[in-house]
Structures are given as C-alpha cells and as structure tokens.
Amino acid sequence: MLIGFDLLDRQILDSDGEPVGKVDDVELALAEDGTPYGAALLVGQQALGERVRGILGRWLAGTARQLAPERDRGPIRIPYDLVAEVTSAVTLSVRREILPDPPLETWLRDTLVARIPGATDAG
C-alpha cells in the first residue's frame, strides 16, 4: 500500500456509509521486528495543518488547538484497527457517533451555522 496514494485525502465513511471526514495524515509505528505499519488515521484541521506546514499550516493547526477542549489533545486519531476496507474511500467498521468531532467544525456549527435562520430545522 502506498500511503500517499491509497490513504491521504481519501474520504472516510462510517459503517453506514455516512461521511466522517478525510484522511489528513497517517500515524506510523514500528513492529517488534522494525517493520513500519499504519497505526492510526489522523483527521481534522490540526493534522492537516501539520502536514501542510508553512503559514497556512501553522494557522490551521493553531486554530484547531485553540478550539479543542484540551489544547494538548493532538489531532483526532482513528486506530487503523477500525478500518474495514480501503477502496476509493476508507470505510470504517464503526458508526460515526463514537468518533470525536473536529473542534473547528464543532465551533463553526455551534457559533455560526446555528445562527442561520432555519438551520436547526434541517433534518
């Protein structure tokens, strides 16, 4: 598997086919024999900002850290054990509800989108 081709920027779907986000980065670990493997998918603006780098990357990651409930939480990690299938999208074996929401998306939803007339009526 080529991480940059097969995983990065792929849509992540939960077990019901609902969108979860995109793969912003991949956390690697070493097996006992020294072989690297994908340990987790990293999701959210903090992971994307650290991957993009530069001024835009620092701004994205910094904003995500400021909005996170715990500032030293780090990016959202989805253990690779939860990946059921990798095709044109990454399908998980769990539902979206058990995964944390990215802090920037939560802030935007609660602060901006909720104030739009009729926004709470959407099903």
Q: Are 101 and 23 in contact (CB under 8 A)?
A: no
DSSP annotation of 110:
H
What pLDDT is attached to residue 69?
A: 65
Top pLDDT among 117 and 26 is at: 26
What's the chain's average pLDDT? 85
Kindly report, residue by residue over 91-105, the tens digit of the pLDDT: 999 998 888 877 677
Per-residue model confidence (pLDDT) at position 80: 94
- Where helices occur in 16-71 by DSSP H, the ranges are 45-52, 54-67
107 compared with 84, residue with greater pLDDT:
84
Q: What is the pLDDT of residue 81?
A: 94
pLDDT tens digits along 40-72:
999 888 888 888 889 988 888 887 777 766 666
Q: How far apart are CA 25 and CA 35, in angstroms?
A: 19
Domains, the chain: 3-121 (2.30.30.240)
Q: What pLDDT, on the 0 to 100 scale, is given for residue 10?
A: 93
39 — pLDDT class (breaks 50, 70, 90): very high
Yes or no: say if 95 and 60 are a contact pair by the CB < 8 Å rule.
Answer: no
Please list, in sequence order, all residues whose beta carbon lies within 8 angstroms of the beta carbon of residue 57, skipping any fewer than 6 positions away: 48, 49, 50, 51
Q: Which pTM does this prediction carry? A: 0.75
How many other C-beta atoms are found inside a 10 Å radius of the C-beta of residue 9? 12
Kindly report the number of other CB atoms within 10 A of residue 58's CB atom.
13
